[in-house]
Amino acid sequence: MKIVRTLGSGAAILAVSSLALTGCASGDDAAEGPKTDISWTAILHAATPPEPGNPVQQALEEKTGINLTIQWVPDAVREEKLNAALASDKLTDITMLPRVDNTSIRRALTSGQFWDVEPYLKDYPNLAAIDPQTIESAKLDGHLYGVPMQKPKARYGVLIRQDWLDNLGLEVPHTVEELGEVARAFAHEDPDGNGKDDTYGFLDRQESFSLGFRTISGYFGTGAAFELDSDGNVVSSYDTDAMKTALEWYRELYDDGAINPDFPTLQKAEHMERYGVGDGGIFIGTLNTGSGFINLAADIDPGSTMVWTRVNDMTYGDVPRRIITDTNGGLGGWQAISKSSVKTEAELGVVLQFLNDLMDEDAFSLMTNGIEGEHFTFADGGVVDIIDQNAWGSDVEVFKSLRPSELVTTYPSTDETDNEANEMIAENADYAITNIAQSLTSATFDTRWTEFSQAANDAYTKYMVGELDIDGYQAAIDKIRADGLGRIEQEFTDSYNELNS
């Protein structure tokens, strides 16, 4: 896996591919020769962009045979900058579009500004290997207007304090029914042995309806925002039978004191800190979070005995094993290719080959770890050992978000629990439930979804804290449906039927 900083086979393949595609273009295109420069608009998740002459960028250019010009857009202003570029159609060859649910981006993708790349993917081995479910999730109205940025399909699961289970003589739960009993025991049976009534089962936070509870409801059989009903209609998951069963189950736990009463106002930072001090024993979220809690607890109390166990096969009743995707079905956005900048199929071929080459394992390592011997070394078992964290942070880290895929390989950790978490996340892919409406279009959704989703969130919170009963929750959803959610459902249904007619 050693990185060789020379013009390798990727560039040779690129040259052959470009020449072959040039033959399909006009005579003028062929006379200009194959494209060797690519401009790329990328989101910057750092304080400053890379310095000129960045060694990672140079190594990527050597590998691919492409001269890169990267326009870095700070994440804090990405909506403003991307919307302005989309509106003016002054686009680079590749534009990184990370927000799957951004209505401006979705409208731009279907406006004709970008190449539909699906017919071409078969000619590039790494692109051809993209998971078909991710391809479907990335389409809009049946077209793929960019190379999907691949992520794990479902990173979530249930983390449980193993030391608390041991203290109370409890087994690891694998059904929702068992999980509820553990939550009650953690709240009322002094699992930390300090003689105080100061622990909860579930420690939830403000985003409960879209994160923690959303994952739990999936075990009961709810869809990922929208789903197909028995009559073939696309419907919201807000008031399905499975959703209301999940709501009643969670509300009972709240009434029993097994869920922290301040969850509607608890912010993420404090939420995570409270796990560190031992307030809660069940966490719903990414399966590799546990080691972070352990490190936080050790900082607070060097004598901490915190241990977490992970469960990714939670089930309820006779509902088959499932997990709602937390990554839009493995879609982190699109690397969209502009028609105004990339004008011919020959040029498109060069750009697709470049993105394909970035999914080779050596390019992935460059964008993840840096240059071997300069930024990192491989320790025993293939563990990545960063030589200088500051150098890695300034040279390498910024490129991680540009990777077309996070799935190329997984580097082992010295922490076996992290390795276990990565294996569970990979296993989740077989059980991931995606939003059937993600690839459909609805004009009402584009203009009013934020309003409706907030209203549903408010109804959920009022129900949980006792301001509404289940009939009151249903009445709130009925009002949202009458205000326009019903139009969204009908427009998505029409879009679904048009694509599947």
Averaged over 37-60, what is the pLDDT? 95
CB 189 within 8 A of CB 168: yes
User: Dihedral through CA 224, CA 226, CA 227, CA 229, nearest 10?
Assistant: 140
- What is the per-residue pLDDT for 10? 36
| pLDDT beyond 60 at 1 | no
- What is the per-residue pLDDT for 179? 98
Is the same domain home to 186 and 238?
yes
Alpha carbon 325 to chain centroid, angstroms = 8
Is the same domain home to 143 and 162?
no
| pLDDT beyond 50 at 149 | yes
* CA separation for the pair 448, 236 (Å, rounded): 14
Is the same domain home to 181 and 286?
yes
Q: How confident is the model at residue 322 (pLDDT cuts 50, 70, 90)?
A: very high
Is the same domain home to 341 and 394?
yes
Averaged over 333-358, what is the pLDDT? 97
Is the same domain home to 298 and 246?
yes
Averaged over 337-352, what is the pLDDT? 97
Is the same domain home to 383 and 490?
no
| pLDDT beyond 50 at 340 | yes
- What is the per-residue pLDDT for 501? 86
**Domain CATH for 259:** 3.40.190.10
* CA separation for the pair 159, 283 (Å, rounded): 5
**Residue 80 domain-assigned?**
yes
**Residue 111 domain-assigned?**
yes
Is the same domain home to 342 and 465?
no
* CA separation for the pair 121, 95 (Å, rounded): 18
| pLDDT beyond 50 at 45 | yes
pLDDT in tens, 378-389: 999 999 999 999
- What is the per-residue pLDDT for 100? 84
Number of domains the chain contains: 2
Averaged over 100-108, what is the pLDDT? 82
Q: Which one-letter DSSP state was computed for residue 321?
A: P
Buried b (16+ CB within 10 A) or exposed e, 422-435: bebbeebbebbbbb
| pLDDT beyond 80 at 400 | yes
Is the same domain home to 19 and 118?
yes
Residue 12 CB coordination number (10 Å): 11
* CA separation for the pair 52, 18 (Å, rounded): 28
pLDDT in tens, 151-179: 999 999 999 999 999 999 999 999 999 99
**Residue 414 domain-assigned?**
no
Q: How confident is the model at residue 18 (pLDDT cuts 50, 70, 90)?
A: very low
* CA separation for the pair 314, 247 (Å, rounded): 17
How do strand 37-44 and strand 94-97 relate by DSSP bridges? Answer: parallel
**Residue 413 domain-assigned?**
no
- What is the per-residue pLDDT for 47? 87
Domain end among 393, 408, 423:
408
Alpha helix positions (H), 147-277: 162-168, 176-188, 212-220, 241-255, 268-276
| pLDDT beyond 90 at 326 | yes
3-class state of residue 324 by DSSP: strand
As a whole number, the mean pLDDT across the chain is 92
Is the same domain home to 366 and 384?
yes
Alpha helix positions (H), 141-175: 162-168
Tell me how far CA of residue 312 lies from CA of 97, 148, 322, 347, in angstroms: 30, 26, 9, 44
Domain end among 362, 391, 408:
408
Residue 32 CB coordination number (10 Å): 14
- What is the per-residue pLDDT for 32? 62
| pLDDT beyond 90 at 107 | no
HEC string of 2-70 equals CCCCCCCHHHHHHHHHHHHHHCCCCHHHHHHCCCCEEEEEEEECCCCCCCCCCHHHHHHHHHHCCEEEE
For residue 352, give its domain range.
9-153+329-408
**Residue 282 domain-assigned?**
yes
Is the same domain home to 315 and 204?
yes
**Residue 418 domain-assigned?**
no
- Give the H or E element holding residue 390: helix 389-395
**Residue 167 domain-assigned?**
yes
Helices and strands (H, E) in the chain, number of each type: 20, 15
pTM (2 decimals)? 0.88
- Give the H or E element holding residue 281: strand 280-286
Is the same domain home to 184 and 308?
yes
- What is the per-residue pLDDT for 432? 97
| pLDDT beyond 90 at 108 | no
Instruction: Determine whether 250 is exposed, middle or buried from the number of CB atoms within 10 Å of its CB (0-12, 13-18, 19+).
Output: buried
**Residue 423 domain-assigned?**
no
* CA separation for the pair 430, 132 (Å, rounded): 13
Q: How confident is the model at residue 106 (pLDDT cuts 50, 70, 90)?
A: confident
Is the same domain home to 123 and 191?
no
| pLDDT beyond 90 at 102 | no
> Which amino acid belongs to residue 460?
Y
Helix axes 55-64, 345-357, angle to 10 degrees: 120
